[in-house]
Amino acid sequence: MTVIQTRPVLENRRPSASAWADLALLGVALVWGASYPVAKSALVLAPVLVLIFYRFLLTALAMSLIAGKELASTNVYDRACGILLGAILFAIFIAETYGVTLTSATNTALIISLCVVFTPILDYGLSRRLPPLGIIGATASCCVGVGVLTGGNLTFTGGDLLVLAAAVLRAVMVVATKRLMATRTMSTAALTAIQAWTVALSTMLMIIVLGNSDDLFFAGDTSFWLAVAFLSLFCTIAAFYVQNAAVRRTSPTRVSLLMGTEPLFGFLLAHALLSEPITTTSLVGASLIVAGTFAGILFENRKLP
C-alpha cells in the first residue's frame, strides 16, 4: 500500500523538474533574442572587438569570484576541455557580432536559429544514425524560411553568411559540450569561467595583433556600459550557465530545439526596440523558421525512426 501511494508522488515531481528546466531554457531564449537589438545599439558606439572584450572580461571576473575554489582544483584535462569550448565560443561571437553589424537584428535572430537544425543533424551524424524524416522536414522548413527572409536571393549578404557560420558553430558548441563534459566532474560555474577567460584573452590578443591596443582603454558613455552589463550578466553569465547545465543533463537536440524560440523573441524585440519593420516577407520567413523549430521538437520527442 505504501508503494502504491509513493509512486504517484514521485511521478508528479518529475514533470515539475522538467518543466522548470524548460522554462529556464525559454528564459535564455528570451534574453538571447533581446541581445541582438542591444548589441546592435552598442556597436554604434564601439568597435566589435571592444564590445566582445568587455562583455567577456566582466563575465570572466564575475564567474571567477563565484567558482574560485573550483577553478583552483580543476585538473589539466578539464581545463583543456574548457579552453577548447571557449575557443569555439570565441569563433561564434566573432562571426555573430561582425555579422550583426552587416545585417539587421531581425535577420540575425532568425538566421542564428538554424543552429536548432544543425544540432540534431550533427548529433545524429556523430552517432552514425540518419536523422528522423521529421527532423529532415523541419530542416527544410527552416531553410526555406531563411530563403524567404533574405528576399529569395540565392546568395546571402556578407553579414547573413557570418551569422550562418555562427549558427553552425553554435551547433558544434552544444554537441561538443555534451560529449566533452557529460562525464567530467568540473562544475558548470568553473566551465563558464574558463570559457569566458578564453574569449576575453583571445579578443584582447586579436585587438593587439591588429594594432588597435588603444581600444582596450575605450571610454564609452552610460548607454554603452549598460549594454555591456546587460549582455554580460544576462546574456552571457546567466544564459551560458543555464545552457551548460542543461546540455550536461539532457540531449543536445532537446536543448537546441527548446532554444528555437529565440528567433521569435529576437524578431519581436528588434521591432519593439529598434523599430525594424515587420513586413509580409519577414513574417512568412519567421513563421517557416519557427514552425520548423517546433516541428523538430515534436519529432525529437516522439523519437521517430
pLDDT in tens, 220-250: 788 889 989 988 887 777 776 676 666 656 5
Residue 22 CB neighbours (<10 A): 14
| N-to-C CA span, the chain | 39
Mean pLDDT value of segment 252-281: 66
Q: Is 6 exposed, middle or buried (0-12, 13-18, 19+ CB in 10 A)?
A: exposed
What CA–CA distance (Å, rounded) separates 216 from 208?
Answer: 9
- Grid coordinates standing for 54? 568587455
Q: Is the pLDDT of residue 180 over 50?
A: yes
pLDDT of residue 155: 59
Check if the beta carbon of residue 300 is closer than 8 Å to that of residue 65.
no
Q: Is the pLDDT of residue 126 over 50?
A: yes
Q: Is the pLDDT of residue 207 over 90?
A: yes
Q: Is the pLDDT of residue 206 over 90?
A: yes
pLDDT of residue 103: 83
10 pLDDT band (50/70/90 cuts)?
very low
What CA–CA distance (Å, rounded) separates 82 from 89?
Answer: 10
SS3 category, 185: coil
Check if the beta carbon of residue 85 is closer than 8 Å to that of residue 247.
no
Q: Is the pLDDT of residue 15 over 60?
A: no
pLDDT: is 77 or 139 the higher one? 77
Q: Quickly list H helices, the chain.
A: 2-42, 48-66, 68-72, 76-102, 105-111, 115-126, 133-149, 158-181, 188-209, 222-232, 239-247, 252-258, 262-274, 280-302
Could you tell me which of 198, 297, 183, 195 has the C-alpha nearest to residue 248?
183
Q: Is the pLDDT of residue 34 over 80?
A: no
What CA–CA distance (Å, rounded) separates 73 from 70?
Answer: 5
Residue 289 CB neighbours (<10 A): 29
Mean pLDDT value of segment 30-34: 70
What CA–CA distance (Å, rounded) separates 114 from 118?
Answer: 6
Percentage with pLDDT > 70 across the chain: 72
What CA–CA distance (Å, rounded) separates 218 from 200?
Answer: 15
74 pLDDT band (50/70/90 cuts)?
confident
Q: Identity (one letter) of the amino acid at 24?
A: A
Least confident segment among 2-16, 197-211, 217-231: 2-16
Mean pLDDT value of segment 258-287: 70
Check if the beta carbon of residue 119 is closer than 8 Å to that of residue 252.
yes
pLDDT: is 69 or 54 the higher one? 54
Whole-structure pTM value? 0.72
Name the most confidently modeled range: 169-178, 212-221, 269-278. Answer: 169-178
What CA–CA distance (Å, rounded) separates 96 from 85?
Answer: 16
Mean pLDDT value of segment 247-275: 63
Mean pLDDT for the chain overall: 77
